[in-house]
């Protein structure tokens, strides 16, 4: 199991706390159950539909026009120089 952290508004937190006491379970269990029901209930994810939704999500980013240059800048580091190898 992977640990994560959520920020909830006051109303959500109160509602989940009350439900957890009422059901005799934890808030974490309630959140996992909700995620399971909402996002994992379909047997097979429609990957084509997901790809259509995500396609072009970064098309208006002006800082990524030169993708090769961007990748080179991200990969450029000083680690080798620090070890006297670069």
Rounded distance between C-alpha atoms, residue 81 and residue 69, angstroms: 21
Residues sharing a CB contact under 8 Å with residue 16, sequence separation 6 or more, in sequence order: 8, 27, 30, 31
What is the reported pTM?
0.49
pLDDT in 10s for each residue of the chain, 86 residues = 999 999 999 999 999 999 999 999 999 999 999 998 888 876 667 778 878 777 777 777 777 778 888 888 877 777 777 787 76
List, as one string, the DSSP characters of 17-53: HHHHHHHTS-HHHHHHHHHHHHHS-SSS--HHHHHHH
């Amino acid at each position: 199991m992977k640990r994560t952290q959520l920020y909830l508004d006051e109303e959500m937190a109160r509602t989940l706390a009350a439900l957890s006491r009422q059901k005799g379970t934890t808030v974490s269990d309630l959140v996992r159950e909700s995620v399971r029901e909402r996002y994992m209930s379909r047997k097979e994810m429609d990957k084509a539909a997901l790809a259509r939704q995500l396609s072009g999500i970064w098309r208006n980013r002006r800082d990524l026009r030169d993708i090769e240059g961007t990748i080179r800048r991200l990969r450029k580091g000083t680690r080798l120089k620090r070890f006297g190898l670069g």
